[in-house]
Chains A and B, each alone.
Chain A
Amino acid sequence: MANRQKTEPYERAREVLARFKIQSAPVPVDKIAKGMGAQLRFSPLDGELSGMIFIKDGVPIIGVNSLHHPNRQRFTIAHEVGHLELHRDIISKSVHVDKAFPVLMRDQIAAAGTDQIEVDANQFAAELLMPKFLIDLEIKDGLADIDSDIPLDDLARKFRVSKQAVEYRIRNWF
């Protein structure tokens, strides 16, 4: 049971990938978010805040820090899509309709992975952007080698994510 819960975010991400017929990298995370009915809003957010998600008039709004690098923004969007897919009930209960104000923020707490729903969203995002079946193909092609820096850079470039995100994905290999 515990193991099933642990792998659920990965499985749910795979379902989303299948629903959107994703076959190659980089994964079009913008289109997935929009396909799930979400609107993306880029704005210069404070400090380390990467993004947020809330529901306004029934429409999920994903806020993204426009000052961050696009690869980091892609991870943010994937993370918020994870909340949408996995925690819609939590997001829906905390509706703010007056202002674009965060309900779930992706900040340092999420990055540290200490909060369970943030851990889930991170795992979902990792699989969404770096699906196992696509990473497997790269490993077969000899592109990925955890012991060497250069192939990880190549993988990061191919999947349009940060090198840290690739490392996270490989460390949490399901």
Chain B
Amino acid sequence: MGLVFYDTETTGTDTYFDQILQFAAIKTDSDFNEIDRINIRCRILPHVVPAPGAMRVTGVGASQLIDAALPSHYAMVRMIRAKLIEWSPAIFVGYNSLTFDERLIRQALYKTLHNPYLTNTKGNSRSDVMRIAQACSLFEPGALKIPAGDGGRRVFKLERVAPANGFKHKNAHDAMGDVEATIHVCRLIAEKAPDVWSAFMRFSQKAAVADYIADETVFCVSDYFYGNPHSCLATLIGQNGDNKNEWYIYDLSIDPESLQPLSAAQLAVRLGRSPKPLRRLRSNGVPMLFPAEQAPDVCKGRECGLDELMRRAQMLKTDEALCERLISAFESTRAEYPPSPHVERQIYDGFFASDDEKLMEAFHEAEWPDRPAIVEALQDPRLTAIGRQLIYVERPDVLDDAIRQECRIAMSRRLLGIGEDIDWMTLPEALSELETMREGASETELVQFLRDHDLHLRRLLREARKHAA
């Protein structure tokens, strides 16, 4: 048991369609003493287009993307998964990981026929150091130095926060370098802001969050939007019936009595207007929760006084009808999104059936020639699509001709950006971006670096055009 600090370097910033190129992690005990580490890179998938901007930041050259000495994406994910399972149960911690690395890991597992929820099941839980640093700046100002950016806004990027707090970054944007920087920041937080660190360790578990907001009549909840902190004093009024991890909380700076006379339609309009009385709180989203008495100066509702806020909260607790009306009005305004035609975006469209889970396990145990039959036996169409693509990338020779041809066409069309709802990096887009970058480049090394990528993409373009018909 302990903490697993991890980071990824990727082909771009799209957490659905980009892929991990490097994964690094260090397992420590609860005092940050290193126990074990892993640092692994892989080749690029043949249907993924590297974002030129990301390649420039990470310094990954075109030849490295296709280096035959590196493992394939599938082989790398198998190794990462085995290591993370060996280290479990643990709290998985990254920097800005909740909205980035965590999603990429889930996608990587999903796209290699594994259950995606490795870091938050079977006793594991997760946290995000960027959120802890943000909470520090609110609840324990002075514990960390947070640099200022344009317009005086606080900048929470790791490459700025870590050096500002004494970390000597040998290699920013290298996954292992960033893991070491993250541990450095955590050590400081645990030493200088132990209450904040403890709160985040506690609320890494969604059950602890649910327990806390049910117990505390009034609590302080905070968040950051575009570098600006937002805090309010809130009370719990209900749970989303369709999503047990989502809770509805009420901002007590708004007197609930003012909402009582409103009709359902008027309530729906009011809930959409700022300041918004109702908010969602995801118990699995590492929320910043603190006791009401510790609310920071910027917190909304403090001016009302705790007694008045308690009165408002108690009023809501006893007026179940109002709570139901509020929740109903809130849910009526929720946008419905049509299902995506792309398997990557279908990751959260339901859990896998247990029979499919068993077949997925059998897939990884089987010899390659036996794997196509296992894929065709899967009931979930998402898994069948993923399985075919996976075999096509790894061992196209074991697929039958029709499926192989289908996969080849699909991949080529994808590279070229042919089809509906194209929102990933395509070859024409990447080449255009490279062209712009090359125009502004003067250093010989950079010019060569961009030229290599350009050649790589043009090779892919020629191949894709041959097969996309």
Contacts and interface: CB of A to CB of B under 8 A. Distances in A.
Interface string B1-36: 111000000000000000000000000011100000
Which secondary structure characterizes the binding site on chain B?
Answer: mixed
Contacts of B30: 43-46
Interface size class of A (residues with CB under 8 A): 20 to 34
B208 interface: yes
A39, A46, A67 pick with most chain B CB within 10 angstroms: A67
A66 interface: yes
Interface stretch (B130-138, B196-204, B386-394): B196-204
A73 interface: yes
A67 B90 CA distance: 7
A41 interface: yes
B205 A70 contact: yes
Interface string A5-46: 000000000000000000000101010000000011111111
B1 A42 contact: no
A41 B215 contact: no
B211 A67 contact: no
A92 B3 CA distance: 30
A28 B201 contact: no
A28 B291 CA distance: 13
Given A41-B198, A70-B211, A160-B211, A46 B204 contact: no
B194 interface: yes
Nearest to B200: A42
Interface size class of B (residues with CB under 8 A): 20 to 34
Contacts of B199: 42
A140 interface: no
Interface in A66-107: 66-67, 69-70, 73, 99-100
B248 to A, nearest CB: 20
Interface string B318-335: 000000000000000000
A67 B89 contact: yes
Contacts of A46: 1-2, 29-30
Interface in B160-207: 194-195, 197-199, 201-202, 204-205, 207
Given A44-B90, A44-B201, A45-B30, A67 B215 contact: no
A56 B338 CA distance: 57
A42 to B, nearest CB: 4
Given A45-B1, A99-B31, A67 B194 contact: no
B198 A44 contact: no
Contacts of B2: 44, 46
Interface string B370-402: 000000000000000000000000000000000
Given A40-B198, A44-B30, A66 B215 contact: no
Contacts of A67: 1, 89-91, 123, 125, 205
Interface of A: 26, 28, 30, 39-47, 64-67, 69-70, 73, 99-100, 160
Given A44-B91, A64-B202, 13 more contacts: A41-B198, A42-B198, A42-B202, A43-B30, A43-B197, A44-B201, A66-B125, A67-B89, A69-B207, A70-B205, A70-B207, A73-B208, A99-B31
